[in-house]
């Protein structure tokens, strides 16, 4: 039994146990590149193979639970591991140590973006990175689509969800509608058909109108708190929520600024959700960065604390599994729609078109690490900066 497991069995977590948890997740939060799938693979290597804090079965149970609650999967895995090993104190320490280093890195980049963003070098950097980001998102869509659309019913639901997303139906309606449709489908299977598709239009009543409001820290905090409380799927689904509310409804951001925020999230380690830190700083300086970061990550701590004891039961629930299938399809559709809109701002000439195409082939055919492609796009953009004429 490892030192931390022994400490847990003795009662209250020891300071040495918390120190080891903090050391591990500070390192991962500072160096873990490649998105949630890569983060989870690194955690598996550290806590199952090397430290033997968890069995492989326990680790998979935690992973299954994170897919059934809203929020960033890799961050919630870190929080689950800390909770399992050192109780509530471990939950706080693991989550904070994984989030804070990444948030600080993004904060420094956000400061530089605001301070120097109008300089030709910065413009050239983003010019080269943006089309690569579109290719990275398309790669994620390809893999997620294969995993999410596993049956004819899910394929039909994906098509309906995509049409709804392109028509700018409220994101929450698309996600919850998909989940409820699949629950109804599960219940109706064998009874002559599925009539649950009425769930989507019936949910339209919760959609909000497109009314712009003045910026405030309270509104910013509540927006990211809402996103952290209801967002299923990968960090890329965050883009759909941000575009719907902050770009289309509140008009606080432009599509170009949103794409810049995505680029920053790709070239930094740690949780993709630290995109909220960048956007918060862009809109409200340091106070905005703090409230946005707190808002989007706070629900994850609450959900993990509540769902941890239920893990053995969640994975065995047929209804929970069906709901997750529908939500995942809705999340995929939202990602497709937002990628289309962002792609119009990123691919603006033949050079960016070539960059996006080369990146897509490198990712899908040769599985090149996305970090190297993003850095390559940055180099191309910087090299072309003097000739962009902007």
63-112 residue pLDDT tens = 767 777 888 888 998 999 999 888 899 999 999 999 999 999 999 989 98
The CA distances from residue 27 to 30, 63, 101, 241, in Å, are 5, 21, 9, 30
* Claim to verify: residue 152 and residue 79 sit in the same structural domain: no
User: Among the ranges 248-252, 337-341, 356-360, which has the highest mean pLDDT value?
Assistant: 356-360
Q: Does residue 26 sit in the same domain as residue 154?
A: no
pTM over 0.85: no
Q: Is 70 left (phi over 0), alpha (psi -120 to 50) or beta?
A: beta
Same domain, 16 and 157: no
Residue 117 confidence (pLDDT) above 80: no
Is pLDDT of 193 > 50?
no
The yes-or-no verdict on residue 295 having pLDDT over 60 is: yes
Please tell me the predicted confidence (pLDDT) of residue 3: 45
Supply the mean pLDDT for the chain. Answer: 80
Instruction: Determine the average pLDDT of the residues in 5-11.
Output: 45
Residue that terminates a domain, selected from 97, 127, 155: 97
Assess whether 52 and 165 both reside in one domain. Answer: no
Average of per-residue pLDDT across 103-132: 80
pLDDT at 279 over 90: yes
Mean pLDDT of 259-282: 84
Please tell me the predicted confidence (pLDDT) of residue 199.
36
114 domain-assigned: no
Q: Which residue has the higher pLDDT, 175 or 235?
A: 175
Structural domain includes residue 134: yes
Which of 125-139, 171-185, 293-307, 328-342 reaches the highest mean pLDDT? 293-307
pLDDT band at 10 (very low <50, low <70, confident <90, very high): very low
Q: Is residue 16 part of a domain?
A: yes
- 59 and 137, same domain (yes or no): no
- Among 44, 66, 97, the domain boundary falls at 97
User: Is residue 42 located within the same domain as residue 126?
Assistant: no
At residue 38 the predicted structure's pLDDT band, cuts being 50, 70 and 90, is: low
**What's the domain range around 258?**
119-387
Confirm whether 109 is domain-assigned: no
Q: Give the DSSP letter of residue 47.
A: I
Q: Pseudo-torsion of CA 292, 296, 298, 301, nearest 10°?
A: -150
Task: Summarize the confidence of residues 13-20 as an average pLDDT.
Answer: 74
State the average pLDDT over residues 265-278.
Answer: 83
Summarize pLDDT for 233-248 with one digit per residue, the tens.
556 677 788 888 898 8
Residues 72 and 147 in one domain: no
- Is 123's pLDDT higher than 60? yes
Q: Look at residue 37 and tell me whether its pLDDT is greater than 70.
A: no
- Stretch 23-52: mean pLDDT: 80
Whether 308 and 201 map to the same domain: the answer is: yes
* 263 plus 373 within the same structural domain: yes
* pLDDT over threshold 80, residue 36: no
pLDDT at position 129 is 81
Alpha helices in the chain (DSSP H): 3-10, 15-31, 36-44, 56-66, 73-116, 120-148, 152-166, 171-188, 199-202, 217-230, 237-242, 255-266, 275-307, 311-314, 318-346, 350-364, 370-384
Residue 206, Cβ density class (10 Å: 0-12 exposed, 13-18 middle, ≥19 buried) = exposed
Same domain assignment for residues 80 and 123: no
Number of structural domains in the chain: 2
In this structure, the answer to whether residues 349 and 233 fall within a common structural domain is yes
pLDDT tier at 39, thresholds 50, 70, 90: confident
**Which tokens is 35 given?**
């998105």
- Has residue 383 been placed in a domain? yes
Tell me, what's the pLDDT at 112? 87
């Amino acid at each position: 039994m490892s030192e931390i497991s022994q400490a847990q069995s003795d009662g209250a977590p020891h300071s040495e146990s918390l120190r080891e948890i903090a050391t591990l997740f500070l390192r991962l939060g500072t160096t873990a590149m490649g998105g949630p799938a890569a983060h989870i693979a690194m955690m598996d290597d550290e806590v199952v193979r090397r430290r033997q804090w968890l069995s492989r079965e326990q680790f998979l149970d935690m992973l299954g639970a994170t897919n059934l609650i809203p929020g960033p999967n890799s961050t919630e895995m870190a929080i689950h591991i800390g909770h399992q090993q050192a109780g509530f104190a471990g939950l706080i320490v693991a989550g904070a140590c994984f989030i804070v280093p990444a948030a600080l890195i993004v904060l420094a980049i956000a400061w530089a973006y605001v301070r120097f963003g109008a300089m030709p070098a910065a413009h050239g950097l983003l010019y080269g990175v943006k089309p690569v980001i579109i290719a990275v998102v398309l790669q994620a869509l390809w893999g997620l689509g294969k995993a999410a659309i596993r049956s004819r019913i899910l394929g039909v639901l994906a098509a309906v969800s995509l049409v709804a997303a392109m028509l700018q139906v409220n994101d929450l309606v698309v996600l919850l509608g998909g989940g409820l449709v699949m629950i109804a489908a599960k219940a109706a299977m064998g009874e002559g058909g599925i009539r649950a598709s009425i769930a989507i239009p019936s949910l339209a009543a919760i959609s909000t109108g497109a009314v712009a409001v003045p910026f405030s820290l309270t509104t910013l905090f509540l927006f990211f708190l809402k996103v952290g409380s209801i967002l299923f799927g990968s960090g890329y689904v965050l883009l759909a929520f941000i575009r719907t509310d902050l770009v289309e409804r509140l008009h606080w951001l432009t599509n170009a600024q949103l794409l810049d925020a995505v680029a920053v999230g790709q070239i930094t380690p740690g949780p993709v959700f630290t995109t909220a830190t960048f956007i918060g700083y862009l809109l409200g300086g340091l106070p905005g960065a703090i409230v946005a970061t707190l808002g989007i990550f706070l629900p994850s701590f609450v959900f993990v604390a509540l769902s941890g004891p239920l893990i053995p039961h969640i994975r065995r629930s047929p209804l929970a599994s069906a709901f997750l299938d529908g939500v995942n399809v809705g999340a995929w559709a939202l990602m497709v729609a937002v990628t289309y809109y962002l792609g119009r701002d990123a691919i603006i000439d033949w050079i960016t078109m070539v960059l996006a195409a080369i990146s897509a082939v490198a990712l899908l055919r040769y599985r090149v690490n996305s970090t190297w492609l993003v850095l390559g796009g940055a180099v191309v953009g910087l090299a072309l900066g003097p000739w962009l004429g902007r």
